[in-house]
Chains A and B, each alone.
Chain A
Amino acid sequence: MRSFRSVALGVAWRGIHNAFTNPAILLPSMLFPLFFFTAFAGGLSRIADVPGFDFPAGYTAFQFVFVFLQSAAFGGIFNGFAIARDFESGFARRFLLAAPQRTGIIAGYALVALVRWLATAAVVTAVALLAGMEVLGGGVELAGLLGLGLLVNVAALLWATGIAMRFRTLQAGPLMQVPVFLTLFLAPVYVPLELLQGWMHTIATLNPATFLLEAGRGFIAGRPVEVAAAFAVAVGAVLVFTVWALRGLRSAEAAG
C-alpha cells in the first residue's frame, strides 16, 4: 500500500508541477471551457425565450452546467495527452521500470487530472458568477454538482489512460477526444430534453450523459432531478474505465 501511495504521489507531483509551470499545457484546458461558456451563454441566451424553455436559474446557469461537466471530461482527456506524450518521450517506460506498484501510476495521473480540473472549475465558476449567473441551489446541491464533476473527470481520465497506454502515441488523441465530444454534444446541450425533436431527442434520451446534465442543472436550479441515475452513470463509468485503464496498463507492460 505504501509503495502504491508513493508511486501515485510521485507521478502526481511531477504532473502537477509540469502543468502549473508550463502555461502551454495549462492554458488550453482553461481557455476551452471559457470559450464555450462565452459562445453558448453569450451568443445563445435568446434561446431562453423559446416557448417551453422554463429553466428557473436562467440560460447562463443552464449553459454553465454543461461547460462545467465538459471541462471535467476534457480535463481528463487533456491528461490522457500527457500520458501519451510520456510514452513518446520514453518517460512512461521509465515509470514502468521504476514503479514497484504500477497501478499507482494510473492513480497518480488521476490525481493530476483532478487538481488541474479543480483549478479550471474554479476559474470557470468565477467567470460565470461575474457574468451574472444565478445559483438557486444550496450547499448540498452544489456539493452534488461538484461530486458529479469529479466523477466525470476521473472517468474521462481513465478512458483516455486506456487509449494512451494501448497506443502509446499522441496520434491516438482523436480516439480519446471524439467519442467524449460526441457523447457530450449528443445530450441536451442547448435546450432541455423536452425541446429536442426527432432523432436528436431519441439519441439524447438514450445517452447516459443526459442524466449527468439534467442532474447538474437540477442541482444549480435547486430542484434536484435524476440524481440517483446520474451518480449511477458516473460511478459506473469510473468502474468500467478503471478496468479499461488497468488492461491498458497490462498492454503497455507487455509491450515493454
Chain B
Amino acid sequence: MTSSPLFVQVGQLARRSVVRTLRQPVNIVPSFLFPLILLSVNVGGLSAAERLPGFPGDSYLDFALAFTFMQGALFATTNAGTDLARDIQTGFLDRLALTPMRSAALLAGQLAGIVVLALVQATLYLAVGIVAGVRPESGAAGILVIVLLAVLIAIAFGAIGAFLALRTGSGEAVQAMFPLLFVFLFLSSMNLPRNLIETDWFRAVATVNPVSYFIEGIRSLIVTGWDGQALALGFGLALAVGALSLTAASLALRGRLVRA
C-alpha cells in the first residue's frame, strides 16, 4: 500500500469490511429480524391509535414502518463498533498503523460494510412493508429517497459506533452502549406523532431528540408525500450528526494511531 492512492486504500478496506459483515450471519440476521418483529408487535398492539383524532393517515403500519429503519441503524452502530473494536483487540489496527494507510481510508472502509448492510435492510423493510399493504404517498421516487436517508442515518450511527470502539477499544463496551442508544429511540416520536404525545416532558424530550426528525423524515415520504420541512430536518440532522460523529471518530482514530 506504500504508494496506493486514497481510493485504493478505501476500496481494499471497504471490501474487507463488506465481506466481514456478510460472513457474520449471527450479526446481521438480528438486524433484519428484530426490527420486523418489533414492527409487527407494535402494529398489532397499537393499531387502535389510528382512531385517535389527529392521527396522520389511516394505517398504523404506514406510520410505524419508519421506525424499522432507525432500529436497523442502531444495529449498524453496534456492528461497526464491534468490528472495529475487534480490529483493535486483535492488533490489526496496530499493524495498519505501521503502513502508510491514511486514517480517512480506515474509517471510510469500515463504514462501507455498514452502507451495504443499510441498503439491504432498507430494501427488505420496504419490501415487507409493501407486501403488507404500505403504499408510500411519495411514490417510486420517494422510495429512493427513503433508502438514501436510511443509508445516511446508518453512516451517522455507524460512525458513532466507530467512535465508541476507538475510544474504548472494547467490543463489550460498545455492546454495553446499545441500551443507552435504544433510549434515544424510545424517547422519540416513534410510537405516536409529537402533537399526540400528551405528557409534556416526554413531548419536550422527543422534540429535541434528533431521532424524532430522522423517523419523521422517512415517515413523511410514506404517510404524507413530499414534505419539504420534514425532509430538510431529516437530511439536515442526519448530515449534522454524521459530520459530528465522523469528526469525533477521526479524532479518536488519530489519538489511537499516535499511541500505536
Contacts and interface: CB of A to CB of B under 8 A. Distances in A.
B186 interface: yes
B46 A190 contact: yes
A39 B188 CA distance: 9
A44 B192 contact: yes
Interface in B31-73: 37, 41, 43-49, 51-52
A167 interface: no
Interface residues of A, number: 31
Nearest to A31: B179
Nearest to B202: A42
Interface residues of B, number: 25
A35 interface: yes
B48 A50 contact: yes
Contact of B202 (A43, A52, A195): A43
A50 B183 contact: no
A42 B201 contact: yes
A2 interface: no
B136 to A, nearest CB: 22
B179 A191 contact: no
Decide if the interface of chain A is mainly helix, strand, loop or mixed: helix
B203 to A, nearest CB: 9
Nearest to B54: A46
B206 A198 contact: no
Contact of A46 (B43, B47, B183, B198): B198
Decide if the interface of chain B is mainly helix, strand, loop or mixed: helix
A49 B186 CA distance: 21
A191 B44 contact: no
Interface string B190-209: 01100011110110001000
A35 B186 contact: yes
B93 interface: no
A125 interface: no
Given A42-B199, A44-B191, A49 B52 contact: yes
Contacts of A52: 48
B197 A196 contact: no
B198 to A, nearest CB: 4
B197 A46 contact: yes
Contacts of A38: 186-187, 202
Contacts of A189: 41, 45
Interface in B86-119: none
A46 B52 contact: yes
Given A28-B179, A50-B52, A43 B46 contact: no
A196 B52 contact: no
Contact of A43 (B51, B179, B191): B191
Contacts of B206: 43
A196 B49 CA distance: 11
Contact of A50 (B43, B49, B187): B49
Taking each of A31, A182, A197, which has the highest tally of chain B beta carbons within 10 Å of its own beta carbon? A197
A182 B201 CA distance: 30
Given A52-B48, A196-B44, 13 more contacts: A38-B186, A43-B192, A43-B197, A45-B199, A46-B49, A46-B52, A46-B197, A47-B49, A51-B51, A182-B41, A191-B48, A195-B48, A200-B41
10 contacts: A35-B186, A38-B186, A42-B199, A43-B186, A43-B192, A44-B46, A47-B49, A53-B48, A190-B48, A191-B45
